[in-house]
């Protein structure tokens, strides 16, 4: 039997002479250029593992093309290889990348305010504590609570309460830098992670939030705040302890009548 031509070379003489590509065909992406960690974000591959898999998938793609007599896309070859050969995938679901990005965004976002949710806050807080301790830079945490939100809900309905929460979220966003992380923890409570920020600068941020909240407002909405700075020499720093200290400061602010911010010194767990 005469040897088979490679798949990419099986074209008619007219096509080869004219240099015309087959109608509807586009260049096939090779596995060598396929961003595995982006296409398969849950495969948990290191960079070196991804490079090894990419080389193996490219060889698998070419073998499939020879067997099937047509070009095989890199994604198809990758799914087949990772599912049926390497076992890196167990029960994959194919999702358009834009749809996946939307799902990921929704999974870390509070739907009412557009701020991050508690899940993302917890993960980011732990990471920022580790980063600030590693580089010896300050880190502050500001808790913000809407004053008398329950009374607003009871008198004017939950729609009015939702509007107040959205106004607070907008005021927070207007007051922060791009590196700050704001989240709604639930109910009427917000949390703001302030990297590279000491307590003095944190109080300035809190004041800015309160000022932005009242500018151009037709109805009065106020907030209380609790602030804590993580000492650079803290031996046993933890997200839970920072939250506890900031919450105590917030409680003091509420007991003082609200519409104010209280700072507390970080205290290690005893």
> Pick from 150, 152, 151, 185: which is nearest to 169 by CA?
185
pLDDT in tens, 92-104: 887 777 887 787 8
- Distance CA(214)–CA(236), nearest Å, equals 39
Active site residues: 188
Counting other chains too, the contacts that 174-182 makes at CB distance below 8 Å and 24 or more residues apart are 174/212, 175/205, 175/208, 175/209, 175/212, 176/205, 180/205, 181/116, 181/120, 181/121, 181/124, 181/128, 182/115, 182/116
94 DSSP assignment: -
Residue 239 is part of which domain span? 111-265
Q: Number of structural domains, the chain?
A: 2
Q: Please check whether residues 123 and 254 belong to one and the same domain.
A: yes
Q: Are 118 and 187 in contact (CB under 8 A)?
A: no
- Is residue 75 one of the residues assigned to a domain? yes
- Is residue 40 one of the residues assigned to a domain? yes
Q: Where are the beta strands (DSSP E) in the chain?
A: 139-146, 181-186, 189-195, 223-230, 261-265
- Is residue 217 one of the residues assigned to a domain? yes
Task: State which residues of the chain have pLDDT below 70.
Answer: 1-33, 37, 41-42, 270
């Amino acid at each position: 039997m005469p040897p088979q031509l490679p798949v990419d070379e099986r074209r008619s003489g007219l096509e080869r002479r004219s240099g015309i590509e087959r109608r509807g065909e586009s260049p096939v992406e090779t596995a060598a250029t396929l961003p595995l960690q982006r296409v398969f974000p849950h495969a948990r591959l290191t960079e070196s593992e991804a490079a090894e898999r990419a080389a193996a998938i490219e060889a698998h793609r070419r073998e499939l093309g020879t067997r099937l007599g047509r070009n095989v896309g890199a994604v198809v070859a990758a799914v087949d290889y990772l599912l049926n050969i390497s076992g890196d995938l167990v029960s994959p679901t194919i999702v358009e990348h834009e749809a996946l990005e939307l799902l990921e965004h929704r999974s870390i976002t509070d739907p009412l305010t557009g701020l991050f949710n508690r899940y993302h806050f917890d993960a980011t807080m732990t990471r920022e504590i580790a980063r600030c301790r590693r580089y010896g830079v300050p880190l502050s945490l500001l808790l913000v609570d809407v004053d008398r939100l329950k009374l607003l809900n009871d008198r004017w309905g939950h729609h009015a309460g939702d509007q107040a929460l959205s106004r607070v979220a907008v005021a927070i966003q207007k007051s922060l830098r791009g590196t700050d992380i704001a989240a709604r923890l639930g109910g009427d409570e917000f949390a703001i992670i302030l990297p590279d920020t000491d307590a003095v600068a944190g109080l300035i941020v809190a004041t800015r939030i309160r000022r932005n909240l009242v500018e151009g407002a037709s109805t009065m909405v106020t907030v209380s705040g609790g602030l804590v700075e993580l000492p650079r020499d803290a031996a046993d720093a933890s997200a839970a302890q920072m939250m506890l200290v900031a919450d105590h400061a917030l409680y003091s602010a509420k007991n003082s009548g609200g519409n104010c911010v209280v700072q507390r010194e970080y205290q290690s767990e005893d």
